[in-house]
Amino acid sequence: MCRPKQWNSNNVSFICFTVLVFMANLGAGQQTTGNNSMGMQLLKGALASRVKNLTTAMTKNMKGQLDFCIENVDAEWDAAFNFSDNSDYLQGCLQQTKGDVQQRLCTASEIKFYSVSLLEATDESGTAKSSHYLRPNRNCNLTSWNSGCEPGWACSAGKDTKIDFENEKEIPSRVLDCQSCCEGFYCPYGLTCMIPCPMGAYCPHAKLNTTTGVCDPYRYQLPNGMDNHTCGGADVWSDFVSATELFCSAGFYCPSTVQKNPCSKGHYCRAGSTEQTSCYRFATCESQTANQNITFYGLMFFGAIMLVLLIIYNCSDQVLSSRERKQAKSREAGARSARESAQAQNKWKSNLASMGSQLSKTFSRRKSTRQDMQKDSDPSRPGKDSGLPLPPGMSQAKAKKQHNLKKMINESEDSQPDSEGSNIETGDKKFKKDKGKQLHSRTQIFRYAYGQIEKEKALQEQNKDMTFSGVINMASEFEIRPRPPIEVHFKDLTLTLKGKNKHLLRCVTGTLSPGRVSAVMGPSGAGKTTFLSALTGKAAAGCTTTGSILINGKSDSIQSYKKVIGYVPQDDIVHGNLTVEENLWFSARCRLAADLAKPEKVLVVERVIESLGLQQVRDSLVGTVEKRGISGGQRKRVNVGLEMVIEPSLLILDEPTSGLDSSSSQLLLRALRREALEGVNICMVVHQPSYTLFRMFDDFILLAKGGLTAYHGPVSKVEEYFAGIGINIPDRVNPPDHFIDILEGIYKLPASIGVSYKDLPLKWMLHNGYQVPPDMLGPSGAAASSAGDNSSHGGSSAAVGTEQSFVGELWSDLKSNVVQNKDHIQHRLLPSKDLSNRKTAGYLLQYRYFLGRLGKQRLREARIQSVDYLILLLAGICLGTIAKVSDESFGAQGYLYTVIAVSLLGKIAALRSFSQDKLYYWRESSSGMSSLAYFMAKDTLDHFNTIVKPAVYLSMFYFFNNPRSTIWDNYLVLLCLTYCITGIAYCMAIYFEPGPAQLWSVLVPVVLTLIAKQDDDPLTAKIGNYCYPKWALEAFLLATARRYSGVWLISRCGLLKSRHYDLGDWYPCLIKLILVGFLSRFVAFFCLVMFHKK
């Protein structure tokens, strides 16, 4: 006896099924209502089991061929053919066939034949070619064609015929008792068996439309010559485009394949639904609604995102503002306390002086005796200081130190630079500030810093003559922190422009000494900036540098000292969206010694702010082109202050006084004189300084056109030198202006002195015994002509012994470029020797400082960020409205537009991360700041946009478009896509200039998307497989395709086959996007380090 649990097994014996049929027939004959008979129920169960076995055979046959579109075969086919919940349609089929359903069901061989024919009949678009697509077989061929071969009809194999449903090789003979296909089944054209319709399909009996002659709702017509033939059941299970009538209509749901119900109000039913889905609470769903309107939820989602962003913005702004207010309050309290202490001390000193004067009148005899004792106790000192009394409170050791310092300076001023560099060893002397190290609170730190500044200001009032010898009293009163000295000696320094054989700089010899301020002057085009660039190793590409540069008497690269070298460029490269104080503090944190106590760092920064006169604008934004900030002169002083706060040993300035008035220039020079007290070697290019400003320099370098030296020596001896060759300074004429007018040829020298302005460089070489190039020897006129007249830019022609051929020049340039690029790559990639003996902040600390700075900048650029979000929002609304979800293509068009839109908008926004900051990076990286910390901080902060922007876009696109895939799947794909395109945008922003970078950011996503869509050309298709738009589009479609099951399986497989997609490639697509994003960031970092401004 058969047990019910055996009916659900894969193998139900033919004998058991025959018994059940017999019982059903018996029951049907004995009872008036077969619907309630036990035999009919048992027969329905057995038929359901056979249908399940049939679908199992279908899965077995399709498993190897449909792996690309069906991940879990058992689960997918169970969802499509599990009729256990509603199998009432089987009872109607049993009654129609009088229990002969068993003999009409397709076997494994017929299913295999049908499935293979189905795949062969699918074209490249994924749709069926026609309904007449099955090959001839045993029952339907040219010699045997019965009514069961027609669409919608089936035949029986005979009640007494045993059928092996597991046989995959032989199709059984079915030519008996042909009739229309049962409801809930479909009978393909060219087969005489029945296949159950999948869940989500609606397969009723067809009715003849007398107007069109078509069997509605299907598309087949009655055959000619068969008068008794009527419309049957469904004839095909195909894709949505080819067999739309088989799918349960949108706005209806089909709990079984023979039942179709309208969707009630408050529910929606997509095409192919087996049940109605409840609408969201605030969604609008009328009766027979195909999709719910969830735009309100999109607005809520976007509002939630904006609320979170506003909270983050306001909280961050509040935290920063609170911190700044506390710091300002502590600073004001410290400054007030220091001023009060200084005033009290000055008052006490004045009172003490007044009391001393009164006492001196009363006790004159004691005063005289005390002076005699002081003279006896004071050791005699040589020179002009001998016999002077010690200042009150000065010890013998300090007096001796002052005397030695004065002696050293006097000797330094009287001596000219030697022709060879002296050997000065660099040593890092640790300076102890016990007071500073014991301070902890912010107010105490500022009190200490401003106390020191007030003392320095008091001494400056006493020593207004800020020449080097005029500030020795300051050195004796304060323990100046010594810095590692750097002496730069250059000999025959020459810079030649390749190809044109023009000298930008020629035979420049001299020395820049520690503790001295040198001024570089000359007419326009004389090579002043080129000279500074050559000294600092920043010579322009396309130039050949010859000669020698010695650092402290050694031929070490100046890049080895970059941590203690400050370079102030001619352009004011200052972050406009930071305040003055924030700019200075960032430079100090990253470039000062890491072990320097915080009070000392505060003192350094506050001293620079005070000395440069930036107290009133310390909390003001520097300003940008779009937003005005501080004045141009103040911006110039901030530019200088960025290098002063690092306490450099060598400070190079390119025209720091341009754009400054006389008082501001004098203020800047006083600040630099203060730096020179600590042994800083200062060299600066200036244009036409006033006489007062000129006398504040120690050394003077005068360059003539062609990059030749006309004078290099002390300022105090320049007039004496030129007077020696017959050039005197007229009355009331500024000496530097007069010298430049001579070199420009504006002032004509008298013929009586026998010297032309073109002869001045040659005169200087001969005066110092320097080696003169052969082409400059000979007649005076010829020498001068070759020196300065053959270039409008001041370049002089290089001596060429023999004229090279074009091939020779090309080979020479090639070798020179290889050598130069090799040195450049080694310098950029390989760690260079550090001789500065200064350990600055490490990578992690600099990463933290960069992150903090960028965070402030982004907060102040919130309006730009909001515009980006608004554009994404509008794009989501437009594309979500225009590109409605299409069941035919699974929404491919909308996703294609999404890939293009997000790529365009994301790349253009990501370009701002580096395009506008390259100048700042070049300046900071050349000073020794970590390029990796800078890049990682930028990328880390951009991760915020990488996370937020997909959510902003989907808040409109998803809720307007409402695809079948989940919002989480769409977000993951967009997240990976945004990460990928951001890395690509980095490469474009770093490698190209801003204009071309924007053009490439538009062209690349459009072109790659078009290539990714081309599947006709094999070569183009192969290229498209390596394009990120294809991976993104594939990931979108795979996420959506998973949501199409049941009756949609054929559509899903057809679409994926036509596009060569595989459901198992969803995660690989995301991984590819992330990998490209990572690799593009690596390439971008490489370009950032290697490709600097030419």
What pLDDT score does 462 carry? 64
- Is the pLDDT assigned to residue 82 strictly greater than 80? no
Neighbours of 605 (CB within 10 A): 22
Mean pLDDT of 144-160: 87
Q: How confident is the model at residue 436 (pLDDT cuts 50, 70, 90)?
A: very low
Q: 540 falls in which pLDDT band (50, 70, 90)?
A: low
Indicate the length of the chain as a whole number.
Answer: 1094
Answer for the pair 509, 524: CB distance below 8 angstroms, yes or no. Answer: no
At 1 the pLDDT is: 36
- Could you tell me the pLDDT band of residue 365, with boundaries at 50, 70 and 90? low
Beta-bridge partner residues of 711: 702
1021 and 927 fall within a common domain: yes
- How much is the pLDDT for 943? 92
DSSP state of 1017: S
**Which strands make up the sheet holding 699-704, listed edge to edge?**
565-568, 650-654, 681-685, 517-521, 699-704, 708-714
Q: Bigger pLDDT: 177 or 80?
A: 177
Show the 3-state SS of 877-927: HHHHHHCCCCCCCCCHHHHHHHHHHHHHHHHHHHHHHHHCCHHHHHHHHHC
Do 996 and 1038 lie in one domain? The reply is yes
Asked which of 247, 272, 299 is the last residue of a domain, the reply is 247
Residues 775 and 872 in one domain: no
Choose the final residue of a domain: 247, 279, 294: 247
* pLDDT recorded at residue 659: 79
| pLDDT computed for residue 413 by the predictor | 41
pLDDT tens string 614-655: 888 988 889 887 788 898 888 999 999 999 999 999 999 988
Q: The domain containing residue 605 runs over which residues?
A: 488-799+807-816
Strand partners, 977: none
Judgement on whether residues 982 and 864 belong to the same structural domain of the protein: yes
- Cα–Cα distances in angstroms (integers) from residue 279 to residues 503, 885, 967, 1042, in the given order: 80, 18, 16, 21
Place of tokens 């050309």: 1017
Q: What is the pLDDT of residues 738-782, one digit of tens each?
A: 888 888 888 888 887 878 888 888 888 888 888 888 777 755 444
- Does residue 190 come out as left (phi exceeding 0), alpha (psi in the -120 to 50 range) or beta? left
Whether residue 929 contacts residue 591, with contact meaning beta carbons closer than 8 Å, is answered with yes
**Which range scores top for mean pLDDT: 82-86, 834-838, 903-907?**
903-907
Task: Tell me what the mean pLDDT of segment 1074-1080 comes to.
Answer: 95
Do 852 and 746 belong together in one domain? no
Any domain includes 299: no
**Same domain membership, residue 629 and residue 698:** yes
Tokens of 622: 């520097």
Q: Using pLDDT thresholds of 50, 70 and 90, give the confidence band for residue 1030.
A: very high
d(CA 1041, CA 888): 11
Residue 1003 included in any domain = yes
pLDDT at 340 over 80: no
Give the model's pLDDT for residue 36. Answer: 43
Tokens of 793: 């830019």
Tell me whether residue 220 is in a domain. yes
Residue reference for tokens 């130190």:
401
The answer, yes or no, to whether residue 802 has pLDDT greater than 80, is no
Checking if the pLDDT of 437 tops 50, the result is: no
Are residues 852 and 778 part of one domain?
no
Q: What is the mean pLDDT of the chain?
A: 77
Q: Are residues 791 and 916 in the same domain?
A: no
Same domain, 49 and 150: yes
State how far the Cα of 351 lies from the Cα of 716, in Å rounded to an integer: 42
Summarize the confidence of residues 191-203 as an average pLDDT.
Answer: 88
**Assigned token pair, 1047:** 């009756």
Strand, coil or helix: 237: coil
Per-residue exposure over 831-851, b if at least 16 CB sit within 10 Å of its own CB, e if not: eeebbbebebbeeeebbebbb
Q: Is 300 exposed, middle or buried (0-12, 13-18, 19+ CB in 10 A)?
A: middle
Q: What is the pLDDT of residue 75?
A: 79
Exposure string of 720-759, with b = 16+ CB inside 10 Å and e = fewer, is ebbeeeebeeeeeebbbbbbbbbbbeebebeeeeebbbbb
Lowest mean pLDDT among 227-241, 425-439, 793-807: 425-439
Question: What is the count of structural domains for the chain?
Answer: 3
* Most confident of the ranges 44-48, 323-327, 912-916, 1080-1084: 1080-1084
Q: Last residue of some domain: 231, 247, 263? A: 247
Structural domain includes residue 348: no
What is the average per-residue pLDDT within 953-982?
90
Q: Is the pLDDT of residue 1016 over 60?
A: yes
Are 93 and 54 within 8 A, CB to CB? Answer: no
Other CB atoms within 10 Å distance of the CB of residue 524:
11
Arithmetic mean of pLDDT, 120-135: 54
Q: Are residues 866 and 927 in the same domain?
A: yes
Whether residue 651 lies inside any domain: the answer is yes
SS3 493: strand
pLDDT for position 562? 87
> Does any domain span residue 146?
yes
**For the chain, percent of residues with pLDDT exceeding 90:** 15
Examine the domain organization and report whether 872 and 790 are in the same domain: no
Dig out the tokens for 461 from the structure.
Answer: 């009032």
Residue 438 predicted with pLDDT over 60: no
What span, in angstroms and rounded, lies between the C-alpha atoms of 810 and 813?
Answer: 5
* Highest mean pLDDT out of 57-71, 129-143, 529-543, 701-715: 701-715
CB atoms within 10 A of CB 4: 10
**Domain identity same for 795 and 860:** no
115 vs 623, higher pLDDT: 623
- By percentage, how much of the chain surpasses pLDDT 70? 76
Tokens of 693: 């400003």
CA nearest 1046: which of 9, 70, 7, 44? 70
pLDDT at residue 431 is higher than 50: no
Structural domain contains residue 257: no
> Comparing C-alpha atoms, which of 1001, 1046, 1040 is closest to residue 894?
1040
Question: Is there a contact between 702 and 691 (Cβ–Cβ < 8 Å)?
Answer: no
pLDDT score of 380 more than 50: no
pTM of the model: 0.79
d(CA 947, CA 803): 62
Q: Is residue 376 part of a domain?
A: no
